[in-house]
Amino acid sequence: MPIVLFRVDERLIHGQVVIGWGHALRPERYLVVDDDLAESAWEQELYALAATGVDVEFLTVGGARDRLDGWRADPTRSILLTRDVRSMARLGEGGALADEQVNLGGLHHEPGKSELLPYLFVTREDREELRRLADSGAEVSARDLPDASRVPLADLIEA
């Protein structure tokens, strides 16, 4: 199980991921999948600051799709992060994330978003992308920290 966590979290690498999930899963690498970030050196530097000694790679969605199978076979324990639902849904197109657990960890409030959980606010487009992700075979659920309870997608949005 070399990709130990797939997570959608707007904050990407931050306290909950590094401390909360990091202590539980002991990752050796973070894979940040985002088309814009993959092109932006100064943003990568900022995000990498929070990783405290763990390697970070930044990839486009297309680049990540090509390497998914390689990571799965690689013994290095990785946490894969996207900062929006859309990138994760694109990653999962064609069943690439079939039967994987996909964790929704944090999308903050903005005007026009509706609240699913105190740490999860979504737009109408996010809802559609979530359905698309689930339809592609991924098991989607929300959980901010490893010791919190897991809320399945079906309990968050109507199918």
Partner 1 sequence: MGATFLRSFLVQGAWNYHTMLGTGFAFALLPGLRRLYRQDPDALEAAIRRHTEHFNAHPYLTGVALGAALRLEQEGADEGTVRRFKTAVRGPLGSLGDRLVWASWLPAVALASLVIYWLGAGWAWSSAFFLVVYNAGHLALRVWGLRAGWSAGREVAGRLRAAGLGELAERLGPVGAVLSGLLCGVLGAGPLADAGDGGLWVALASAGFVLGLAAGHRAWRAAAVGTVVAVAAVVVVSSLPGGAG
Binding site for partner 1 (CB under 8 A): 10-15, 18-19, 36, 40, 42-43, 45-50, 52, 108-110, 118
Between 19 and 154, CB nearer to partner 1: 19
Q: What is the chain's Cα-based Rg?
A: 15
Residue 101's identity, in one-letter code, is Q
Between 28 and 43, CB nearer to partner 1: 43
Between 15 and 62, CB nearer to partner 1: 15
CB of 17 to partner 1, least distance (A): 9
CB of 141 to partner 1, least distance (A): 22
Centre a 10 Å sphere on the Cβ of residue 49 and count the other Cβ atoms it contains.
Answer: 10
How many whole angstroms separate alpha carbon 3 and alpha carbon 31?
9
CB of 42 to partner 1, least distance (A): 5
Whether 63 and 38 have beta carbons less than 8 Å apart is answered as yes
How many whole angstroms separate alpha carbon 137 and alpha carbon 146?
23
Between 52 and 76, CB nearer to partner 1: 52
